[in-house]
Amino acid sequence: MINRLSPMFRGARGRAVCILTALLSLSGARDASAVGWQPIPGAPSAGRLDDMHFLDPLTGWVCTSSGEIWRTTTGGASWDLQLATPYYMRTIYFADAQTGFAGTLGSQLLFRTTDGGAKWNAVPNSVFPALPPAICGMSGVGDHVYGTGAYFAPAMLVRSTDRGVTWDSTDMSPYARNLIDCHFVTPTSGFAVGGSPGTPSTTRPVILHTDDGGTTWQTRYLGTTTGRYCWKIFFVDSQLGFVSVYSLNGASVLKTTDGGLSWNAIEIPGNDSLEGIGFATSNLGWVDGWQDCNQTTDGGATWQPYLIGGGASAVNRFQFFNPTRAYAVGYTVFRYDGDPSDVPAGSVVPSPSPFSLSAAPSPFSETTTIRFRLPVAARAQVRLYDALGREMQTLLDAELPAGEHTVEWDGRDAAGVDTPAGAYLYRVDAGGRAESHSMLRLR
C-alpha cells in the first residue's frame, strides 16, 4: 500500500492542492505524468522514506522512518526487506555492491553490511572518538566514507578511510550549527551543507568545502537570510550544482556553475520547507519537501508548481542515472522514465503491515486518534516525530492483547507545549515490525 496524503492535505500549512491542480490545468502547466514521474507499484511506503542509494538503474536500497531497509534488484519491480529496527533510518550509502552503511536518528547511530545487505551489523557507538547526535547524510569515494549530522546541533563529521572498519569524528561547530548533507567528488575533496553557527533563529545557509578529507574546511557560501539552512546538495556534473534551502519563512535554492567555488541564491516565491533537489539535465530539475514541489526548465532561473506522481510526494532525495531514468523517495518510491507508461509490471508487493495503522481526523486541529490493530499480543510502542524526524514523545509503551487499540494525541509535545501546524509522523512498533504514517495539523 502506498501511503500518501490525499491532495487536499498537502503542504506544511495545509494548502489545498486540489485548488492548485485546478489552477494548473487552467494555466496549461504540465502534470508530472507527462514526463514520467510515477510512484512504483508495490514499493515500500512509510511516513517518510528519507534516503536511497541506487548503484545502477536496477539495484538500490531505501530506508524508512519505520526503521526498515529495503532492497530492489529489479528496478523496483520487487523488493526485499533486509532490516527492521526500532530506529528512525535517516540515510543510506553503498561503497559498492557489498559494503553499505545506514545512519539513524536513534541511539544506535550506524549500521554496516559487507554482503549487500543480507546481514546488517550495528556499528558500536564507541568506535567514534566523539559521538554525533545523528547521521543525516552520507557520501564517499572508494575506501573513504563520510557522514554528516545532524539537522540539529551540534554539527559533526564522521569519516572512515577503510570502508567503515575504523572511524574518526570531527567537531564542526566552528563552521556550522548543524549539518544535513555531504557530497564528495574525490576521496578527499567534498562539500558539507547546513546552517552557520548560531541559534535556530539566527543560523544562515552555509556550504563548506574540504580538500584534505575533512581535516580543514573553507566556507564557500554564507547566506544573508536568518532562520534558514542548507538541506540537500546535488551536482549535475563537475561544474553545475544545486543546494536546497530549508526554511519556514520562504524558499530558495543555491546554484553553482564553477564547481562550487561560488554560489548564487534563487528565491522560489510562495513556498518553504524545501528538502529534496535533483536535475535530469542542466535545465530540467525539481525541488520538493513538506511543502509543494516545484519544477524548473531553465536551470533554476524560474520555478513553477509541479506534481510528482500526480499528488503528494514529500521527496527528500533524488538520484539520476541519465536524463530519462531516475528515482526519488518521499512517502514512497517514485521512478522517472522517458516513457511514463514504462512502470514495472508484475510488481511483487512487500509483505503488508499487520497493524492497519491510521489517524483520524487528519488534518486535525485540536486532537486526533491513532488506531492500530495487533494480530497477536505484544509489547507496543506508539511514537511521534516532527517533519524533520525529531522524536517528540512516546504516546504508548505497554503490553497489549491482540485486537484493535487507540491512543489520542492532543497536539502537545512531551513537555506539554502546543505544537505548530504542519506535518507529523506517527509510528507503531510491535512484534519485531514497525509502520509509520504521516498526519497533518491545521491551526
- Specify the pLDDT at position 11: 38
Task: Tell me the pairing of strands 325-329 and 317-322.
Answer: antiparallel
Residue 347 lies in a domain: no
DSSP calls for 44-97: ---S---EEEESSSS-EEEE-TTSEEEEESSTTSS-EEEEE-SS-EEEEEESSS
Q: In this structure, how many other beta carbons lie within 10 angstroms of the beta carbon of residue 399?
A: 9
Is residue 263 classed as helix, strand or coil in its secondary structure?
coil
Residue 137 lies in a domain: yes
* Residue 262 CB burial class (10 angstroms; 0-12, 13-18, ≥19): exposed
Residue 1 lies in a domain: no
Domain extent for 152: 7-337
For residues 308 and 383, state if they share a domain. no
For residues 214 and 362, state if they share a domain. no
For residues 332 and 400, state if they share a domain. no
The conformational region for residue 164 under phi > 0 = left, psi -120 to 50 = alpha, else beta, is left
For residues 432 and 391, state if they share a domain. yes
Indicate the residue among 305, 337, 369 that finishes a domain.
Answer: 337
Cα dihedral across residues 380, 390, 190, 233: positive or negative = positive
Q: How far is residue 382's CA from residue 407's CA, in Å, rounded to a whole number?
A: 8
- Specify the pLDDT at position 269: 83
- Specify the pLDDT at position 272: 82
Residue 387 lies in a domain: yes
Residue 14 lies in a domain: yes
- Specify the pLDDT at position 344: 41
For residues 301 and 155, state if they share a domain. yes
Residue 343 lies in a domain: no
Q: How far is residue 377's CA from residue 65's CA, in Å, rounded to a whole number?
A: 24
The closest of 9, 65, 50, 34 to 291, measured between CA atoms, is 9
For residues 364 and 330, state if they share a domain. no
Indicate the residue among 285, 303, 337 that finishes a domain.
Answer: 337
Say how many domains are in the chain: 2
State if pTM tops 0.85.
no
CB 230 within 8 A of CB 213: no
Domain with residue 80: its CATH number is 2.130.10.10
CB 103 within 8 A of CB 145: no
For residues 327 and 367, state if they share a domain. no
For residues 238 and 287, state if they share a domain. yes
Q: Percent of the chain scored above 90 by pLDDT?
A: 73
State the virtual CA torsion across 423, 276, 250, 171 in degrees, nearest 10.
Answer: 90
For residues 326 and 422, state if they share a domain. no
For residues 29 and 156, state if they share a domain. yes
Q: How far is residue 63's CA from residue 70's CA, in Å, rounded to a whole number?
A: 7
Phi, psi of 113 (to 5 degrees): -125, 145
CB 146 within 8 A of CB 158: yes
Residues 6+ apart with CB under 8 A from 25: none
The closest of 159, 176, 156 to 168, measured between CA atoms, is 159
Indicate the residue among 337, 368, 399 that finishes a domain.
Answer: 337
- Specify the pLDDT at position 254: 98
Q: How far is residue 389's CA from residue 109's CA, in Å, rounded to a whole number?
A: 14
Q: How far is residue 327's CA from residue 335's CA, in Å, rounded to a whole number?
A: 5
Task: Find cell 499528488 and name the residue.
Answer: 311
> Any bridge partners for residue 208, and if so which?
192, 219
pLDDT tens digits, residue range 270-300? 778 899 999 999 999 999 988 789 999 999 9
> Any bridge partners for residue 277, and if so which?
287
Residue 348 lies in a domain: no
pLDDT tens digits, residue range 206-238? 999 999 999 999 999 999 999 999 999 999 999
The closest of 224, 313, 310 to 273, measured between CA atoms, is 313
For residues 85 and 218, state if they share a domain. yes
* Amino acid (one-letter) located at 37: W
Q: In this structure, how many other beta carbons lie within 10 angstroms of the beta carbon of residue 120?
A: 19
CB 226 within 8 A of CB 248: no
- Specify the pLDDT at position 338: 65
For residues 232 and 369, state if they share a domain. no
DSSP 8-class letter at 411: S
Residue 2 lies in a domain: no
Domain with residue 380: its CATH number is 2.60.40.4070
N- to C-terminal Cα separation, the chain: 29
Counted residue by residue, the chain has a size of 443
Q: In this structure, how many other beta carbons lie within 10 angstroms of the beta carbon of residue 438?
A: 24
- Give how far the C-alpha of residue 294 lies from the chain's centroid of Cα atoms, to the nearest Å: 17
* Residue 15 CB burial class (10 angstroms; 0-12, 13-18, ≥19): middle
* Intervals of the chain under pLDDT 50: 1-35, 339-350
- Specify the pLDDT at position 256: 98
